Amino acid sequence: MSEPAKLPADHRPVATGRVGVLLVNLGTPDAPTPGAVRRYLAEFLSDPRVVEIPSLVWKPILHGIILRTRPAKSAHAYQQVWTEKGSPLAVITAAQAQGLQAALGDDVQVGWAMRYGNPSIASQLAALKQTGCDRILVAPLYPHYSGATTATAFDALGDALKAMRWQPAIRTLPPYHDDAAYIEALRADLSRQLAALSFQPEVLLLSFHGMPARTLELGDPYHCHCRKTARLLAAALQPEHPGLRIETSFQSRFGRAKWLEPYTDAVLADEARKGTRKLAIAAPGFAADCLETREELAIRGREQFLEAGGAEFAALDCLNDGKAGMAMLETLARRELSGWI
């Protein structure tokens, strides 16, 4: 038997043969300060997939008005939800990566990144490659496909790959809005939270992040994906909660253009005015709690409902790194890694 060939003395050590998973979420400022928020918003709102307005029209508005006025207001909102460990979105996404690492074991290296802000997709892709991952599953934690979320994460992935001489093989996680594992995770987790409330809600409002209405007209499937999730989830919850009325709305609209309707803030006020006294709200489109759930829904949403005449209000947690959510992530990851592990 011949001996294996020896590497030349000047051969550079290279780690190879490992499999990686990169969880990706939207992003967050580095600190709840106007300066940090301004840097984050400048990156986020400069993305042509996020704001589909011609650059010559949008840039003067962005830099002349929005980045001068909005950072202080947004920083105040972030300060209300910031934790000792940092932004809720970053802290929870890191915990999800840690939980998935434990579930998948040493055969897989799990990392996490943000599309905007830190840690960047490019830096974490390079870090996985440096540890020897030459096959990587990139998993945007967006159940519902949108050009402004899923597609722009893949844009950033493409930019990162263009800068690499030795690229890893890449797989990407498809949207999972109607996946049985996702619907079951939502059913189990929301049922657990509803059972723990001190009151029995009359209405469960499913609030999804809004998008300009024109995105639907241009062919973006986001609205249809959200509506399908709502239908499937309502059917899954019905046997256990037969008296619970489930409604759907869209939050976080920005600017004067028409967005997907109905608007969450308007629904909250209308429900209270029509006589609904006990309401719970959930955000199934968010993989992790963030500013939009903990400030916009849990704080401002409560105020809107109670001021309009409501009596009891609960903002339910996202799947986060809880048991049901992590079981779902493991199921999706193992499916997409089939043949690699």
Asked if domains 18-176+324-336 and 180-315 share a fold, the reply is yes
Structural fold of domain 180-315: Rossmann fold (3.40.50)
Cα 189 from Cα 328, distance rounded (Å): 11
- pTM for the whole thing? 0.94
Q: Which residue has the higher pLDDT, 241 or 1?
A: 241
Per-residue pLDDT tens over the stretch 91-146: 999 999 999 999 999 989 999 999 999 999 999 999 999 999 999 999 999 999 99
The pLDDT value recorded for residue 255 is: 84
The pLDDT value recorded for residue 16 is: 82
The pLDDT value recorded for residue 1 is: 52
**Per-residue pLDDT band at 166 (split at 50, 70, 90):** very high
- What residue spans of 50-162 are helical by DSSP H? 55-61, 67-81, 88-104, 121-130, 152-162
| Residue 281 pLDDT > 60 | yes
The CATH number of domain 18-176+324-336 is 3.10.20.30: no
Q: Where are the domains of the chain?
A: 18-176+324-336, 180-315
**Per-residue pLDDT band at 15 (split at 50, 70, 90):** confident
Cα 235 from Cα 296, distance rounded (Å): 27
Over residues 280-303, the mean pLDDT reads 98
Cα 339 from Cα 333, distance rounded (Å): 12
Nearest to 40 by CA among 140, 116, 136: 116
The DSSP code sequence of 84-104 is TTB-HHHHHHHHHHHHHHHHH
Share of the chain above pLDDT 70, in %: 96
The pLDDT value recorded for residue 256 is: 85
Cα 73 from Cα 62, distance rounded (Å): 15
Cα 190 from Cα 204, distance rounded (Å): 10
| Residue 326 pLDDT > 60 | yes
Per-residue pLDDT tens over the stretch 223-236: 999 999 999 999 99
Cα 207 from Cα 259, distance rounded (Å): 14
Cα 209 from Cα 21, distance rounded (Å): 26
Inter-residue contact 270 to 304 (CB < 8 Å): no
